[in-house]
């Protein structure tokens, strides 16, 4: 029963989402309005992905009106459009904990709810996953619908079309793909496919023309005509349909196309889903829904990029709440901005430098390079595989491409890094932002595996800077080393060090001794160098003498420097913000073993388990990598040897 005193009376009355199956058109509209209002209020307090979720409210309500997702299966692509799904499946009261430590995940998680049938953090996975579910259903002789909701830029990825191709070939029944077409990924969507979808959107008479064409052709008594005339009539049907009906791309792939539909008209969307439900009985269906990121909240509509992922904000004023800083102590620049500015600086003197990103111009800092050199900057959309091989092609013809891709997203292009770049020893630079523990986005977004998955590849040079000045130097090193190279660096601000001019390259494979000592060798990489120096200073006050090395390079590693100081010290500690298996500490252990150097070794890294979402500082502490915990671990290790 509705509670009239609640700001969300209909939403709060839901004991289970199955009740929505019986809602009237008026109730569907009211429910959508309440879900949207709740998202605005809740996310304004916690922060989170915002504009994408506002765009899927009516679609989600309509889906729950027609399907029972305890039985039917739904896979949401790019999980940051699934807050309405979470709200309607019993998790509304947990939204104050959204993306917080041990709180509600910002993405779908199979272990969080029986309604989350497939986890999503990266993009373009939904069609393949839902098709797999559909075939498992058929093999097990079950009877339920399987639905993939894709969009928010995900249709630019080749994997989406691989799934469409297979689904059409299999003539999968009770299988529905919903294209949530909002003209966006995070940055504005790019590519000829987006232009094609825009053409469909302008062709609002798709259904009318298709039905008229089919009716006219069927009215021709083909059986009374010669084979030649009948063939010509059939050819005319196909030609005319191709001329007038842009949605035939999907029909040629074996799908029955429905749309475009106004995705913010809940009842129109509901009617389209009812039609799709009938047509799914005969084979796969693609429903094309037009939505707007940020719909229902004008600031987000006007600037969907700014409001894609937000911190807490003043919902009434439409202003994101800024963290108060002491103007007398300005924050150091972010690693992202230092990278972007350095690339522009180097690009002014070298016309062969090219920037490439996969739908993350602003997030990687490459927007600065695009403004300076629009003809030498390419946003390829959510298509990391293409980005890497596109870069390989540029490098093969003498250019110096820089792929600026988050650490976690380069995993999507691993085969291309191995096959197209490293095996051919092509000088492509990979700038891996968000390396290490990222925080609120959780295990799909932490950049923990890059050292492990890149270290094994031939020809690659792999490095990590201790500060923002060293980042600039490593970028130049990568550009002119003549081999594949990757530099990984964390999210957030640098240390505030002086940025040396001009930018100079580092000698490849050479580390740096920062402090001498004879008890412990602290061999640190990247963001762990500064904590290592602080720990060495603290332990020195207790009479424990620590040498500190800034490794700089994981491959080729400065084995001569490490071996020399390992021989002078009683024990060795490696420090890195990455996974322990196959990481930097493993590389040091292998090198020492090969050289016959036996010393007690403590490897400080992320253990072989998932790191969930939460505040990065707290997660580092739990992983034993915060400065305080590291100091205690190292002190105890030394006392035990």
Model confidence over 355-382: pLDDT tens digits? 999 989 999 999 999 999 999 999 999 8
In whole angstroms, how far apart are CA 578 and each of 553, 610, 624? Answer: 14, 12, 12
State yes or no: is 466 an active-site residue: no
Q: Give me the pLDDT at residue 243, please.
A: 42
- Which tens digits make up the pLDDT trace of 90-120? 999 999 999 999 999 988 999 999 999 998 7
Reported as a single tens digit per residue, the pLDDT across 288-310 is 999 999 999 999 999 988 998 89
Tokens encoding 73: 């299966």
Domains of the chain, residue spans:
69-203+246-292, 335-488, 512-640
CATH fold of 69-203+246-292 reads: Rossmann fold (3.40.50)
What CATH architecture does domain 512-640 belong to?
3-Layer(aba) Sandwich (3.40)
Establish whether domains 69-203+246-292 and 512-640 are of one fold. Answer: yes
Q: Is pLDDT above 80 for 497?
A: yes
Give percent of the chain with pLDDT exceeding 70.
89
Instruction: Kindly tell me if the per-residue pLDDT of 206 is higher than 50.
Output: no
Q: What's 596's DSSP letter?
A: T
The number of CA neighbours under 13 Å toward the Cβ of 587 is 27
Annotated catalytic, 412? yes
Q: Is 384 a catalytic residue?
A: yes
Match domain 335-488 to its CATH number in 3.30.1370.10, 1.20.120.420, 3.40.50.970, 3.40.50.300.
3.40.50.970
Helix (H, G, I), strand (E, B) or coil at 204: coil
**Model confidence pLDDT, tens digit, residues 307-327:** 988 999 999 999 999 876 667
Q: Residue 190: pLDDT band by 50, 70, 90 thresholds? A: low
What is the structure's pLDDT at 38?
97
Paired tokens of 474: 């490593």
CA-closest candidate to residue 184, choices 294, 346, 316: 294
Residue 285 confidence (pLDDT):
97
- The catalytic position among 86, 137, 293, 434 is 293
Both tokens of 492, joined, read: 């957030």
Q: How confident is the model at residue 186 (pLDDT cuts 50, 70, 90)?
A: very low
Farthest CA pair distance, the chain: 104
Q: Is the pLDDT of residue 153 over 80?
A: no
Q: How far apart, in whole angstroms, are the C-alpha atoms of residue 593 and residue 596?
A: 5
pLDDT at 329: 78
Tell me: pLDDT of 208 over 60. Answer: no
What's the pLDDT score for residue 205?
A: 43
Q: What is the pLDDT of residues 217-262, one digit of tens each?
A: 566 565 554 555 455 544 444 444 444 444 678 898 999 999 999 9
- The catalytic position among 30, 137, 376, 412 is 412
State residue 79's pLDDT score: 72
């Amino acid at each position: 029963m509705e509670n009239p005193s609640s700001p969300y009376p209909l939403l709060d009355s839901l004991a289970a989402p199955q009740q929505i199956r019986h809602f009237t058109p008026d109730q569907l509209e009211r429910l959508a309005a309440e879900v949207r209002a709740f998202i605005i209020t809740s996310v304004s307090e916690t922060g989170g992905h915002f504009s994408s979720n506002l765009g899927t409210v009516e679609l989600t309500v309509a889906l729950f009106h027609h399907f029972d997702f305890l039985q039917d299966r739904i896979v949401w692509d790019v999980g940051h459009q699934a807050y309405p799904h979470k709200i309607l499946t019993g998790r509304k009261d947990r939204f104050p904990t959204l993306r917080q430590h041990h709180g509600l995940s910002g993405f779908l998680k199979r272990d969080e709810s029986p309604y989350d049938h497939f986890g999503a953090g990266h993009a373009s996975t939904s069609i393949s996953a839902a098709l797999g579910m559909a075939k498992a259903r058929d093999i097990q002789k079950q009877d339920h619908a399987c639905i993939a909701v894709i969009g928010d830029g995900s249709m630019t990825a080749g994997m989406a079309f691989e799934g469409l191709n297979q689904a059409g070939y299999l003539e999968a029944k009770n299988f529905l793909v919903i294209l949530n077409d909002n003209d966006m990924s995070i940055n504005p969507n790019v590519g000829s496919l987006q232009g094609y979808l825009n053409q469909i959107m302008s062709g609002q008479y798709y259904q009318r023309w298709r039905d008229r064409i089919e009716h006219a052709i069927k009215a021709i008594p083909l059986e009374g005509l010669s084979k030649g005339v009948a063939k010509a009539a059939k050819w005319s049907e196909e030609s005319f349909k191709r001329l007038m009906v842009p949605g035939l791309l999907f029909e040629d792939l074996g799908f029955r196309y429905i749309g475009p539909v106004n995705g913010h008209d809940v009842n129109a969307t509901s009617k389209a889903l009812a039609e799709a439900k009938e047509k799914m009985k005969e084979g796969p269906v693609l429903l094309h829904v037009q939505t707007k990121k940020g719909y229902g909240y004008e600031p987000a509509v006007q600037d969907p990029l700014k409001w894609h992922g937000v911190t807490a904000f003043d919902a009434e004023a439409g202003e994101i709440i800024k963290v108060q800083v002491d103007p007398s102590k300005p924050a150091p620049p972010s690693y992202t901005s230092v990278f972007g500015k350095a690339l522009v600086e180097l690009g002014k003197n070298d016309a062969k430098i090219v920037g490439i990103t996969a739908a993350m111009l602003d997030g990687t800092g490459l927007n600065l390079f695009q403004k300076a050199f629009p003809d030498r900057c390419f946003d390829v959309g959510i298509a990391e595989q293409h980005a890497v091989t596109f870069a390989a092609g540029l490098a093969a013809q003498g250019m110096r491409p820089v792929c600026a891709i988050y650490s976690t997203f380069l995993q999507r292009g691993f085969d291309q890094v191995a096959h197209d770049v490293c095996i051919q020893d092509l000088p492509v630079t990979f700038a891996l932002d968000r390396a290490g523990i990222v925080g609120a986005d959780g295990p799909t977004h932490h950049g923990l595996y890059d050292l492990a998955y890149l270290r094994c590849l031939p020809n690659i040079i792999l490095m990590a800077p201790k500060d923002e000045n060293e980042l600039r130097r490593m970028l130049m090193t990568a550009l002119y080393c003549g081999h594949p190279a990757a530099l990984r660096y964390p999210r957030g601000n640098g240390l505030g060090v002086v940025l040396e001019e001009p930018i100079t390259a580092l000698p490849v494979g050479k580390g740096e001794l920062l402090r001498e000592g004879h008890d412990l060798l602290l061999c640190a990489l990247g963001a762990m160098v500064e904590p290592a120096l602080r720990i060495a200073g603290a332990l020195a006050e207790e009479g424990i003498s620590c040498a500190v090395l800034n490794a700089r390079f994981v491959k080729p590693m400065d084995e001569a420097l490490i071996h020399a100081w390992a021989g002078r010290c009683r024990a060795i500690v490696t420090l890195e913000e990455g996974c322990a298996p196959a990481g930097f500490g493993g590389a040091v252990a292998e090198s020492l073993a090969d050289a016959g150097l036996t010393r007690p070794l403590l490897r400080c890294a992320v253990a072989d388990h998932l790191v969930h979402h939460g505040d990065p500082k707290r997660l580092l502490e739990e992983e034993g990598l915060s400065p305080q915990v590291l100091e205690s671990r190292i002190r105890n290790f030394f006392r035990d040897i």
